[in-house]
Amino acid sequence: MFNALVVRKDEESGKTSAQVEEVSVDQLPEGEVLVAVDYSTVNYKDGLCIGPGGGLVRSYPHVPGIDFAGTVEASEDARYKPGDKVVLTGWRVGENRWGGYAQKARVKADMLVPLPEGLTTRQAMAVGTAGLTAMLAVMALEDQGITDGPVLVTGAAGGVGSVATAILAKLGHQVAAVTGRPEQADYLTGLGASEIIARDELTEVTRKPLEAERWGGCVDAVAGAMLGRVLKQMQYGSSVAAIGLAGGAAIDGALITPFILRGVNLLGIDSVMQPYDNRVRAWQRIASDLPMDKLEAMVQPATLSDLPGLGRDILKGQVKGRVVVDVNA
Ligand code: NDP
């Protein structure tokens, strides 16, 4: 038996509740690889799945946790042997099958990536799904070409924003970090941001077709009014990597003009269905391009029993950086 955070649903009231329970290996989903989990994390989707599910959870009881890192305990697949360190993100693990908020997880071998050289399982989860997404966003911007101006990061004090800020700064870009939490300015400067921009400055919806060119690239975690506005300020030929919708699912006030008159690219980034080679390449870039000393500043440690509260906090946009869950603590 081992510990897991189990979400149960009361069929009559439809209400969900989450608590730490003992479960057995037989209850885990089918898969070729059994992993002894070291760490998992708290992402926006986890907040949804710890609560009523937001349409992501297929059946109850459910164990959330959309990412984890740990050690292979048993494997029926030749690619993995006991003792190998592995990391998992995506594949809807923690959504429609049991995930990483448990001391053991069983998954298909195709879902795993070997832990890259130089990263510990704790560091891998300090990065986690949010950090992998940040890296994929930076790689997408690089593929299109980052122009001369500062690179804007929105939702900067959140998980994706924090890692994107640190990576871009390490790569030598000027980073303008947008936050609705002015008290996080020192934190963001510490990650390498050269300029802090108040959220309000970029959320006013205007009717102007274009504004002065400001940004050489953008990693956008919030969409909504901010993305509509930012598109009008992108430099000629620059790109926005859109990764999230913390500020709304629409692009408020957006016009076609930035795309036609300035050749702006809007790149959608999805970390869930990334092909194996891309995931391996992104993890290798993380190991080489993410300043590990900065990573520690982003980490808030947690245990399985802290998760119900943290799930509520991340949905309110109140979590700073990355929450790393030690499932064995
Ligand atoms: P966090 O909650 O850690 O960060 C989101 C940040 O957005 C907050 O910290 C806050 O930053 C800002 N924010 C919150 N609400 C608003 C608002 N109403 N208007 C403007 N800004 C707001 O989440 P993550 O960084 O983990 O994820 C961010 C988004 O990316 C989510 O929508 C998530 O679902 C999505 N995501 C997508 C992935 C993909 O594969 N495409 C993978 C991972 C996440 P601040 O306080 O600094 O303003």
Query: How far does residue 301's CA lie from ligand 1's centre (Å)?
Result: 19
pLDDT, tens digit, for every residue of 301-311? 999 999 999 99
pLDDT, tens digit, for every residue of 71-81? 999 999 999 99
Contact criterion met (CB below 8 Å) for 178 and 230: no
Q: What is the 3-state secondary structure (H, E, C) of 232-295?
A: CCECCCCEEEECCCCCCCCCCCCCCHHHHHCCCEEEECCCCCCCHHHHHHHHHHHHHHCCHHHH
Contact criterion met (CB below 8 Å) for 127 and 25: no
Q: Can you give the pLDDT at residue 251?
A: 96
The domain ranges of the chain are 2-115+297-326, 128-268
State which fold the 2-115+297-326 domain adopts: Quinone Oxidoreductase; Chain A, domain 1 (3.90.180)
Separation of alpha carbons 65 and 311, rounded Å? 11
pLDDT, tens digit, for every residue of 84-118? 999 999 999 999 999 999 999 999 999 999 999 98
Contact criterion met (CB below 8 Å) for 24 and 58: no
pLDDT, tens digit, for every residue of 204-248? 988 899 999 999 999 999 999 999 999 999 999 999 999 999 999
- Residue 294: alpha-carbon gap to chain centroid: 17
Query: How far does residue 314's CA lie from ligand 1's centre (Å)?
Result: 9
| CA-nearest residue, atom 22 of ligand 1 | 247
Contact criterion met (CB below 8 Å) for 211 and 110: no
Separation of alpha carbons 99 and 74, rounded Å? 17
Query: How far does residue 146's CA lie from ligand 1's centre (Å)?
Result: 22
Query: Is 2-115+297-326's fold the same as 128-268's?
Result: no
Query: How far does residue 230's CA lie from ligand 1's centre (Å)?
Result: 16
What string of DSSP letters covers 67-106? EEEEEEEEESSTT--TT-EEEEE-TTBTTTB--SSBSEEE
Q: How many CB atoms are closer than 10 A to CB 221?
A: 29
| CA-nearest residue, atom 3 of ligand 1 | 158
Query: How far does residue 161's CA lie from ligand 1's centre (Å)?
Result: 7
Place of tokens 């608590």: 19
Q: Can you give the pLDDT at residue 127?
A: 96
Query: How far does residue 285's CA lie from ligand 1's centre (Å)?
Result: 22
Query: How far does residue 160's CA lie from ligand 1's centre (Å)?
Result: 7
Q: Can you give the pLDDT at residue 325?
A: 98
One-letter amino acid identity for 99?
Answer: G
pLDDT, tens digit, for every residue of 114-151? 999 989 999 999 999 999 999 999 999 999 999 999 99
- pTM value is 0.95
Residue 242 per-residue DSSP state: E
- Ligand 1: residues with CB < 6 A are 43-45, 129-130, 133, 155-161, 179-181, 199, 221-222, 224, 226, 243-247, 269-272, 314, 317, 319
Q: Which atom of ligand 1 approaches the CA of 272 most closely?
A: 40
Q: Which atom of ligand 1 approaches the CA of 181 most closely?
A: 46
- Residue 310: alpha-carbon gap to chain centroid: 15
Pocket test for ligand 1, best of 160, 167, 219, 267 (most atoms within 8 A of CB): 160
Query: How far does residue 178's CA lie from ligand 1's centre (Å)?
Result: 12
The mean per-residue pLDDT over the stretch 38-44 comes to 97
Q: Which atom of ligand 1 approaches the CA of 319 most closely?
A: 3
Q: Can you give the pLDDT at residue 53?
A: 86
Pocket test for ligand 1, best of 243, 278, 310, 312 (most atoms within 8 A of CB): 243
The CATH label, of 3.30.300.30, 3.40.50.720, 3.90.1300.10, 3.40.50.300, for the domain at 128-268 is 3.40.50.720
Query: How far does residue 80's CA lie from ligand 1's centre (Å)?
Result: 34
Q: Which atom of ligand 1 approaches the CA of 245 most closely?
A: 32
Q: Can you give the pLDDT at residue 129?
A: 95
| Mean per-residue pLDDT over the chain, rounded | 96
Whether 54 shows a pLDDT value over 90: the answer reads: no
